Structure 1
């Protein structure tokens, strides 16, 4: 099998290190996730990631938010800026918001003549080849709303179609882009309507937002804050008039979203068209096949954690417990920061929730299929998924367990959380996104004595979970129809599927395009309590939602079109409840064997399911050595790559590469060492 050379760029990186402010980061992440989910993972990253990790090939947009640009310079002058410049020159995209706009101009002139505030000098990136001069409006003070305002921008409708002639943006200390209309590589996207207090050059109006062509790439720099939403703003006791700013921005929120959406469209990004705010958290439903065990769990939580002001206060989350969905008290919460909001936990001891309370997931069907799998193979009923929390909208199935240590240590082996929509879904490398309906997100707690670590290294459990998800689809039922679905493993723990358009004839794949795209992945987090590993396997599989790549059922639909041409019956789409039950059954069965025999019994199956046997790669931290992938080690699951010469003959040099020490860009054939 030949792997292609195109990697879908699904990450939007937001710098969150020195120089940024907490508010700027919060607003930037919120607004970008609101508009770019589910197509991109919007990730906060620090300087270590940007300086040392090979982020460029998987990044659609690099964002520098508001704050102060001098710390940006101290952090990235030289090597860092060379990376950013090369990234954009080769086709990358850059968004600089306020301080990020000053930083990416050829020169910054901030409050020149003001002894306390002046910052001026040349800048290295030079995406905008002129001067960014500020502040546009007087009264600015660091770490204050003094001088902040709601400002009107006149928008170039030809450059940004669909967002109207004017927009109101939050402003606090931004600049103007001097003589922006005089540069051939620059287009003025919006100008300040009000008179600014600095010289903006010879144009008719001061440029507030500019778009800059740079090599093959593009940068948008702003003096205002189109990412700021009134939803996250708070009144200021020291600046009473700031309440008027919030009120005005509230009335103009629709226009702000349209403007920011147009800026993102300008980059060529895929933006959701629904203007959806972050979904509101819904009640969590705790159910079990074993009422007595559930009662014991609730009593243990009450005894060991206890209630404070009617709330179960865990390490990071607070839960309001109820024994009936009908008697839920509406919590008086302002706009939700999901991680800080109180979660409502409804406990169902002797019955399941009413279907109206879980319209997107049939708990009765799920439990029936879980029992069916165990009965079918003549096994006693297992633990995985027998006690389960379901939430229609929740933060993160993994974080609810993994980030609450005092809760985690009390939960039983096999305890599972699943949900329809995650608003803080997490993946490898800190990826955070909103998981929409159609993605089966599940996290399961597995306990293992630390004494087992030599015979069953826990790093390999992520491999087991990946295999279990694959088997849940390929062995969906007894018909054998699902065994042909082209699901594969991308080492170490991502799930890929053949693109629907190539199901009929893989020979039609254009040169340089990837045949397979990601539809799932696994993340394993581990804690140790009482000489036991407490491992939370967070797993996601795109079952129904076609964004951002494709879904299992989309591929099944494509397969059915081919089968119909041949006069064959179609394959029914898979159902969430059946896939989840099958996944938990296969994972527990594998886990039980793994405890005694390690990974050896699963090695052949793993090879049959993965993409990489015989693939030629370049190991960049070994002087770009060419090597052939020949397998993984049975003890720690490290990737075995053997050096080859120009004719692909083995030289005898062997490399063993660990998943958390290296970055694998498999579709470009590159392996890079992480710092």
Structure 2
């Protein structure tokens, strides 16, 4: 299984601006193949991050605090991670720190930082700042630097690229080491001792082979997007720096992309920009509840200007018509999706035309929802899942739209549901963020559980119900779909068999990865007026093969197998509207029963869907003992394992442990 996390260090030694630029740039560049997330010093020291991580990024800042924070354990873990095949990206101070020696502003008594460093991914000195004038407090030393690209290693790029530089270094004697490739060199005259100048090798970007892994090190900042930079009132000249970077921004993006590809990460080859947010369309099954919700918001939440309502974190502009302006003057301006005003269109009078929502047919969804509630014998009420509904082609995050908006959350009806085609700030259980592409079906629903019932129906089980409901929605989609090889990894991740293994026997003792993750669940909890407000978010790869595979790709493999074996059976691709209606109907029925019975009646169905009956695992925090999984506790959903030798039973919390199913390891999270 490929490692799907790219971690950006955010701790002592980094600056917020450098961290944010890294997160933004690499999320766009690496989506949808990796989840790019910040990681703290404590997590690097204490969490089992290595098995699920493809690359670690150390952004700019100051390297001395890193020396103190990383000394010993973290350095050892990073070195071991890279030497065994992991990837490392160091930018500016992250490059100084990962060289054999750092020499910064040598001779300047107020600024000098020099000394040996532990990682030694680059085997010589990183010396800077290559352009004098650096200041920790402002942009005085910021410059646009020209670098020449090594066309033998990076193909299809212009000869020269312009990058933001502020205190960055040069990699001394880079051309002398067989494990070092120079990807780009400084063209400008530098303010440091240029030992490489006679060879024309003033290395600005290097790629170092370290054991089975690699380290990509930058002196300048190729990750800095000028659209996210702000003018510095103390440094008027910085405005010109920003303007120059904007003119040459396209080549910066191409350069960063090619460098990251050279490192070995899979990148997004499409246009490097975050999709613009699109309108949100609000409707309801009875064609009046959505209108009543807007009236309730208008009565309880103050307008700021005109039709703009403050929901708590987000602001929405309410439009009581489905007339939609396809283009407006701000379309070409890069927006911050968290700060942008979201346009909400009320659709109780009429649904938008399919040309306006080409990736989701609201009318067909409503028809499916009505049919499935009727077939299941459930009454479709204003508090049923999906009854009041929002769809947006490009949204921030279906969960975040509800969860962070504390002003409107108490006013939303139970069953309120949001879905989208693309999420630009998708969020996972461990704080991971990514850009969800088309082909992933994300949905978030609001469930209300009286606090008095929580003893009978513990909130922890809602994530279990969600994974069951989505899995069953796939298996019950239509006749023949019950053969789709979908499973649940404890406690709630949804997995599917890789297409190449469809129709083939699998050796139980094989170490090969046969199943991959295609769905995950996130439950956020708030309390208002004696009720838990549970925002249950789930995303499923229906037709997007990145980063693993999709349900429809597995269906294609199943059809090929049917054909190969002479069967006339064929399955059609799953339709998002139909699948979503099926999922909401199933989950609604489960939850209504769960509120009064707890999870015990669902245990057998959960075991039928999960991987782990009789699985042998290693308990890392219990001295590496071997234990057999035999179930979960019906009261709090803890994993039950039994020591093979002694018979001692251990109970493990679902949110307190890291379960690496494929290596059979369970480690306590701290």
Classify the secondary structure of the residue corresponding to 1:667. Answer: coil
Q: What residue in structure 2 maps to residue 41 of structure 1?
A: 35
CA distance in 2 between partners of 1:443 and 1:319 (Å) = 18
Change in CA separation of 1:509 and 1:608 when aligned onto 2, cut-off 3 Å: closer
Is the contact made by 2:322 and 2:347 (CA closer than 8 Å) also made in structure 1? no
CA shift, 1:37, in A, is 0.5
After TM superposition, the structure 1 stretch with the greater mean CA deviation from structure 2, 255-264 or 157-166, is 157-166
Q: How does 1:188-587 map to 2 (within 5 A)?
A: 188-202=182-196, 203-310=199-306, 311-326=308-323, 330=328, 332=330, 334-382=333-381, 383-477=384-478, 479=479, 481-507=480-506, 512-565=511-564, 566-587=566-587
CA distance in 1 between partners of 2:147 and 2:329 (Å) = 38
Q: Are 1:639 and 2:639 counterparts?
A: yes
Classify the secondary structure of the residue corresponding to 2:412. Answer: coil
Is the contact made by 2:104 and 2:127 (CA closer than 8 Å) also made in structure 1? yes
Q: What residue in structure 1 maps to residue 23 of structure 2?
A: 29
Q: What residue in structure 1 maps to residue 170 of structure 2?
A: 176
CA shift, 1:233, in A, is 2.0
Q: Are 1:674 and 2:664 counterparts?
A: no
CA distance in 1 between partners of 2:162 and 2:51 (Å) = 35
CA distance in 2 between partners of 1:617 and 1:507 (Å) = 19
CA shift, 1:268, in A, is 1.4
CA distance in 2 between partners of 1:509 and 1:528 (Å) = 45
CA shift, 1:330, in A, is 4.5
* Residue ranges of structure 2 left out of the alignment (5+ in a row): none
CA RMSD of aligned residues (A): 1.6
CA shift, 1:210, in A, is 1.1
CA distance in 2 between partners of 1:143 and 1:537 (Å) = 43
CA distance in 2 between partners of 1:293 and 1:578 (Å) = 22
Q: Are 1:116 and 2:110 counterparts?
A: yes
CA distance in 2 between partners of 1:332 and 1:179 (Å) = 48
Post-superposition CA distance 1:92-146 (Å, at most 9, x none): 1100000100111111111112222221222111111211111000111113221
CA distance in 2 between partners of 1:377 and 1:61 (Å) = 47
CA distance in 2 between partners of 1:509 and 1:273 (Å) = 38
CA shift, 1:276, in A, is 3.0
CA distance in 2 between partners of 1:577 and 1:511 (Å) = 38
Is the contact made by 2:280 and 2:344 (CA closer than 8 Å) also made in structure 1? yes
Classify the secondary structure of the residue corresponding to 1:9. Answer: coil
Post-superposition CA distance 1:628-667 (Å, at most 9, x none): 111111111110111113xxxxx32001000111111111
* Residue ranges of structure 1 left out of the alignment (5+ in a row): 1-6, 646-650
Classify the secondary structure of the residue corresponding to 1:357. Answer: coil
Q: What residue in structure 2 maps to residue 603 of structure 1?
A: 603
After TM superposition, the structure 1 stretch with the greater mean CA deviation from structure 2, 144-153 or 610-619, is 144-153
Is the contact made by 1:446 and 1:536 (CA closer than 8 Å) also made in structure 2? yes
Is the contact made by 1:631 and 1:639 (CA closer than 8 Å) also made in structure 2? yes
CA shift, 1:327, in A, is 6.1
Is the contact made by 2:388 and 2:415 (CA closer than 8 Å) also made in structure 1? yes
CA distance in 2 between partners of 1:92 and 1:399 (Å) = 32
Change in CA separation of 1:327 and 1:90 when aligned onto 2, cut-off 3 Å: closer
CA shift, 1:74, in A, is 1.8
Post-superposition CA distance 1:47-102 (Å, at most 9, x none): 12111110100000000011111121121111111111111111111000001001
CA distance in 2 between partners of 1:636 and 1:462 (Å) = 12
CA distance in 1 between partners of 2:527 and 2:54 (Å) = 37
Classify the secondary structure of the residue corresponding to 2:554. Answer: helix
Classify the secondary structure of the residue corresponding to 2:290. Answer: helix
CA shift, 1:166, in A, is 2.1
Q: How does 1:93-172 map to 2 (within 5 A)?
A: 93-172=87-166
Count residues with an aligned counterpart: 662
CA shift, 1:331, in A, is 7.7
Post-superposition CA distance 1:547-602 (Å, at most 9, x none): 11110010011101111231313111110001100000000000011011111111
CA distance in 2 between partners of 1:108 and 1:391 (Å) = 49
- Structure with more contact order per residue of length (Cα contacts < 8 Å, sep ≥ 6): 1
CA distance in 1 between partners of 2:507 and 2:656 (Å) = 36
Of 49, 55, 60, the residue aligned with 2:54 is 60
CA distance in 1 between partners of 2:113 and 2:634 (Å) = 57
Change in CA separation of 1:294 and 1:58 when aligned onto 2, cut-off 3 Å: same
CA distance in 2 between partners of 1:335 and 1:561 (Å) = 44
Classify the secondary structure of the residue corresponding to 2:77. Answer: helix
Is the contact made by 1:177 and 1:200 (CA closer than 8 Å) also made in structure 2? no
CA shift, 1:243, in A, is 2.8
